[in-house]
Amino acid sequence: MPDEVVDDAAEAGLPLEAPAEPTLEILRHSAAHLMASAVVELFPGAHYDVGPPITDGFFYNFRLPEGRHFTEDDLGRIEERMKQKAAQRIAFTREVMPRDQAREMFTRMGQPFKVDIIDRIPGDAAQVGVYRTGDFVDLCRGPHVPDTGWLGAVKLLRVAGVYWRGDERNEQLQRVYGTAWFSDEELQAYLDRLAEAERRDHRKLGRELDLFSVTDELGGGLVLWHPNGGLMRGLIEDHWRAAHRSGGYDLVYSPHIALRTLWETSGHVDFYAENMYAPMVIDERPFQLKPMNCPFHILIYKGHTRSYRDLPLRYSELGTVYRYERSGVLHGLLRVRGFTQDDAHLFCRPDQIEEEIGRVVDFSIEMFRTFGFSDLKMYVSTKPEKSVGSEEQWRSAEAALENQLRIRGLDYSINPGDGAFYGPKIDVGLLDALGREWQCATIQFDFNEPERFGLEFVAEDGSRQRPVMVHRALLGSLERFFGILVEHYAGDFPLWLCPVQCEVVVVQDNVPEVVQHAHGVAGRLRAAGLRAAVSDRPGERMQARILRAEQRRVPYVVVVGRKDVERGDDVVRVRDTRLPAEQAVRDLPVAELVAELAAEAARRGAEAVPPARA
């Protein structure tokens, strides 16, 4: 459902029939009306713009008199008024009136946004629908719930500044977001989920665990990976590279800029210009910051004459690309302007393509499982209205995609007409710990680029044939996948991904033997390939050291004191910071500790999922 830009003219028109049972969408659209009616009463002279249902709720855009802004307090008052009105069970009644009459009515009411919408209704529709709830009237097709009595379980969530009609050249309006449910229980469950999502917010955890930063000083949508995040990213990349090498991929590298003519050949200058940055001139020739890696891999392919025996060729790259995104949609690591795709391009003979698709599907499932995601959703997107390639090419490509999912017994849905203009695709979404779905992998046919770049291979009979090309990314982008990973694990990562796996805390930092013993324990952990740190900053209390390690989500803390040195039996006290206090502490010989941690760090996927932090 639309969140950012709303086709407001679609709201207007003849009323729609209400289904027998209102849906959540209808309930929320009705709640938006109720909110607007409360705002107009509490803030005389307020202008209301559009108010659709969205995923999990609704919003309405307003302009308050004299540039006034909604406060936290105002939201409480509006919500209170909505509840009063809900208790009154005011009917939603629909009315059809001539367009001119509606225009005149909203002009008289001093509602310029509504007048504007009526003027923008396409065609020569003679009549429009309006809905009344008590004194409030809105231009609307509906449908709505029968009366406001349905709208008791509502909650207003926040206010955001938005540009009128989503265009930054227009004035800013205030958008009030709310949510509505059929029952108080459902509402409360949703608010709990929301609080849990907030607790897991990767921007918050990114700061707390010192993983990355995205700052204004740096420029919006650009990411700095701090040492902890950088280390984790390196581990993800190491796994990715190893899996690609053993999966028969070649790993390649390409530059960040290239002659713009390359992007003219590829068609990006024509079809992708709004996402590309302005060219820079070098030696009087325009160069382009890369929005995609594809043309580079194509040039590598073209570097030699390819025979049918060479195919398939699989070029993979962790390729950093730059794409323009509106500043209003940038969001932590999830929507950025510079990011690294885990990209690959497959070049194969037509008779190889189906098997190749199957391999990529398996590969993506395996990749997600490694990181602890086993709940996946598959989608096949088919031919859109505007497309290149023959009907026959599309039909066989779509069949190949579906067939490979089917023979694996994988459930999938079809997104009719949702393919790119240059070919059909499979998208893979993953479900995180909160049940939220994230689109990550995409496996995309391309009938366009091989044509544009004149790609060929020499067939068995000596003739020149065109290879089939597939673009694919598994994790999507490292930035976005990392953000998802942080939220999925709420910062408590599987041991193999933890920046520090074990912290050795010194009790008496002024006793050299104790400090030395602590470094000895850490050294033995490191010798086994584990990441261990020693906490012996002078003048800090032991409790403070343990607390800091817990706050940084270090899973294991070993405490070393004078008694350990005196005892001399090589046993240490280990705390698993994720477990409740009564189960957390054990005394273990160092050799056993090393073996246990090494075994845990070797685990991947479901076996590596850490215990939920108590």
SS (H, E, C) 376-436: EEEEEECCCCCCCCCHHHHHHHHHHHHHHHHHCCCCEEEECCCCECCECEEEEEEECCCCC
**Nearest distance from C-beta of residue 543 to Zn ion, angstroms:** 53
The enclosing H or E element of 347 equals strand 338-348
To the query of whether residue 302 is one of the catalytic residues in this protein, the response is no
Cβ proximity to Zn ion, 144 vs 553, nearer residue = 144
Is 294 in the active site?
yes
Output the smallest distance, CB 423 to Zn ion, in A: 11
Stretch that binds Zn ion, among 164-172, 190-198, 292-300, 603-611 (CB under 5 A): 292-300
> Do the beta carbons of residue 152 and residue 130 sit within 8 Å?
no
Q: Is residue 54 within the footprint of Zn ion (CB under 5 A)?
A: no
Q: Which of 28, 47, 425, 553 is catalytic?
A: 425
Would you say 234 and 227 are in contact if contact means Cβ atoms under 8 Å apart?
no
Window of 136-144, 206-214, 256-264, 534-542 that interacts with Zn ion by CB under 5 A? 136-144
Which residue in the list 28, 111, 233, 294 is annotated as catalytic? 294
The yes or no reply on residue 383 touching Zn ion (CB under 5 A) is: no
Instruction: Please report whether residue 485 would count as binding Zn ion according to CB under 5 A.
Output: no
Binding mask 424-463 for Zn ion (x = CB under 5 A): ----------------------------------------
Q: Work out how close the CB of 267 gets to Zn ion at its nearest, in angstroms, rounded to a whole number.
A: 12
341 catalytic? Reply is yes
Please list the helix, strand and coil fractions of the chain in percent, rounded to the nearest 5, in that order.
40, 25, 35
Question: What is the Cα–Cα distance from 538 to 520, expressed in whole angstroms?
Answer: 18
Alpha carbons 264 and 269: distance in angstroms, whole number: 5
228 vs 442, beta carbon nearer Zn ion: 442
- Residues binding Zn ion: number (CB under 5 A): 3
Closer by beta carbon to Zn ion, 200 or else 268: 268
Q: Which is nearer to Zn ion, 3 or 566 (CB)?
A: 3
Q: 430 with 438: CB under 8 angstroms?
A: yes
Residue from 117, 140, 214, 321 touching Zn ion (CB under 5 A): that is 140
State residue 589 phi and psi, 5-degree precision.
-65, 145
Q: Are 419 and 453 in contact (CB under 8 A)?
A: no
The residue (of 423 and 483) whose beta carbon lies closer to Zn ion is 423
Q: Is the dihedral of CA 246, 248, 249, 250 positive or negative?
A: positive
Query: Is 425 marked active-site?
Result: yes
Decide if residue 294 touches Zn ion (CB under 5 A): yes
What minimum distance in Å lies between the beta carbon of 31 and Zn ion? 10
Nearer to Zn ion, 260 or 471 (CB): 471
323 classed as catalytic? yes
Longest dimension (CA), the chain: 94
Least distance in angstroms from the C-beta of 13 to Zn ion: 11
**Residues β-bridged to residue 377:** 429
Smallest gap from residue 313 Cβ to Zn ion (A): 14
Whole-angstrom Cα distance, residue 93 to residue 37? Answer: 14
Q: Name the one range near Zn ion by CB under 5 A: 288-296, 323-331, 454-462, 586-594.
A: 288-296
Instruction: Using the rule CB under 5 A, give the single segment among 40-48, 58-66, 294-302, 331-339 that binds Zn ion.
Output: 294-302
Smallest gap from residue 582 Cβ to Zn ion (A): 53
Rounded to whole angstroms, the Cα distance separating 331 from 157 reads 18
Closest CA relative to residue 441, chosen from 361, 338, 495? 361
Check if the beta carbon of residue 180 is closer than 8 Å to that of residue 31. yes
By CB under 5 A, residue 471 contacts Zn ion: yes
The set of residues, in sequence order, having a beta carbon less than 8 Å from that of 18 and lying 6+ positions away, is: 26, 142, 143, 144
Cβ neighbors of 569 (< 8 A, separation 6 or more) are 589
Chain positions contacting Zn ion, by CB under 5 A: 140, 294, 471
Which residues form the catalytic set? 294, 323, 341, 343, 345, 425, 471
